[in-house]
Amino acid sequence: MRCCSLGILTLLVVALVDGVSRSTEITVERTKQGAAVKIDGQLFTEYIVQSNTKPILWPVIGPTGKRMTREYPMKLVKYERRKDHPHQRSLWFSHGNVNGVDFWDEQNLRKTGIIKHLEFLETTSGKPAVISTRNAWQTRAGKKICEDVRTLHFDTDGDTRWIDFDITVKATDGPVTFGDTKEGTFGIRVPESMYVDSRRGGTIVNSENRVCTNRKTESQVWGKRASWVDYHGPVDGEIVGIAVLNHPSSFRYPTYWHVRTYGLFAANPFGLHDFLGGPANRGQYTLPAGKSITFRYRILLHRGDEKTGKVAEAFAHYAQEK
């Protein structure tokens, strides 16, 4: 009996040691386009320093191995039929009116600004892995309006993956005015099969228990303030979801949401006129020269709907973090 007990104990110790040795490894590797983040050697996402007018993350791969953002316009695939809004590139941060310059749209190249990558400040493997960069917001003529420092943390617990996206914009070259427009600001474009408009079960839910399951109910979530929003639906026959959590320390928390049934998923603290009506510039904000503002989001990639993904619980935990 004693020998049997020792044998079982030995097996348990070996199993524990093996479990430790097989703990998840998250690495950051520099690439020609920027920096790739891998989990146990498999691609999680890539930070691309310049995708037309701005840095983006693409692709973004969830815990089930599904690609969780739209491929277009970076890649043309047969299963994506809609080729709209080419400026909505996977996962990004920009705004439609910064000192009168449009950093959101990309169709009028004479007016569209460029967010130019200046340098990597950090690329560190670990749990979490870290990518930090410095970027200049400038006109087509090369005049700088402001700078940002964005720091991204990447982590997983196996069942979910998450990206913490913290960005501080500093008025380095004079005052900076963020105009009141719905075209902004922190954006994601979900896969086509997840769109509510695709009528395959795509659903938008926010922290205020407002739900959108068709175009008629989009007003339940569009332009509303919420601590978090979840967009879930089928990808390759499996229900998966993306939640964006807005940290309480973020500028104008809780933010307003420019989230649409055609797949756009954006947090926008400036577009109050479009969202609420009233004065044209009620959401406008001017950042004095030398000052800065910070926006903080956690992108949670999960299985199932917002309940299966435990989004409310995840936000409660995130909100406690400094």
Q: Where are the domains positioned within the chain? A: 25-320
Distance from C-alpha of 145 to C-alpha of 53, rounded to nearest angstrom: 15
Its pTM surpasses 0.85: yes
| Rg of the chain (C-alpha set) | 21
Other CB atoms closer than 10 Å to residue 34's CB: what's the count? 21
Its CATH class, for the domain covering 25-320, is mainly beta
- pLDDT tens for the chain, residues 1 to 322: 444 454 544 444 444 444 433 589 999 999 999 999 999 999 999 999 999 999 999 999 999 999 999 999 999 998 888 899 999 999 999 999 999 999 999 887 777 999 999 999 999 999 999 999 999 999 999 999 999 999 999 999 989 999 999 999 999 999 999 999 999 999 999 999 999 999 999 999 999 999 999 999 999 999 999 999 999 999 999 999 999 999 999 999 999 999 999 999 999 999 999 999 999 999 999 999 999 999 999 999 999 999 999 999 999 999 999 9
